[in-house]
């Protein structure tokens, strides 16, 4: 009977090791999927920001304000130089 117990326990041990490896792989893939979903969510959020007309208007407003202030400061410098 001890001859039969050895192959059976060896087979069970191999199955247990294979099951453990499979579970580790499942956990690794799950973690990878969670990370990818997080990156995808961030990318979708950024895309939504870029597509939002309000964001485009605010960016245009900021550019115009910067240009206007630059021109205004140039005019002020020239006026002070003439004084």
Domains of the chain: total: 2
Q: What is the value of pTM for the model shown? A: 0.50
CA-based R_g, the chain, Å: 34
Parent domain of 76: 52-83
Q: Are residues 14 and 47 in the same domain?
A: yes
Say yes or no: 44 and 62 in one domain.
no
Same-domain status, 42 and 5: yes
56 in the same domain as 83: yes
Q: What are the start-end ranges of the H helices in the chain?
A: 2-51, 53-82
Looking at residue 33, its pLDDT comes to 97
Q: What is the pLDDT of residue 83?
A: 61
Nearby residues of 49 by Cβ (< 8 Å), 6 or more positions away: 55
Same domain, yes or no: 56 and 73: yes
pLDDT per position as a tens digit, 16-72: 999 999 999 999 999 999 999 999 999 999 898 888 888 888 888 999 999 988 888
Given a contact cutoff of 8 angstroms between Cβ atoms, the answer to whether 55 and 49 are in contact is: yes
**Is the same domain home to 66 and 45?**
no
* C-alpha of 69 from chain center: 36
Q: Calculate the CA 3 to chain-centre distance.
A: 57
Kindly state whether residues 34 and 47 are assigned to the same domain: yes
Say if residues 27 and 33 touch (Cβ distance below 8 Å): no
């Amino acid at each position: 009977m001890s001859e039969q117990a050895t192959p059976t326990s060896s087979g069970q041990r191999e199955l247990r090791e294979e099951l453990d490896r499979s579970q580790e792989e499942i956990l690794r893939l799950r973690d990878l999927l969670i990370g990818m979903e997080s990156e995808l969510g961030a990318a979708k959020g950024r895309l939504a920001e870029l597509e939002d007309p309000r964001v485009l208007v605010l960016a245009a407003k900021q550019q115009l304000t910067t240009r206007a202030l630059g021109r205004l400061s140039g005019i002020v410098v020239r006026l002070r130089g003439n004084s």
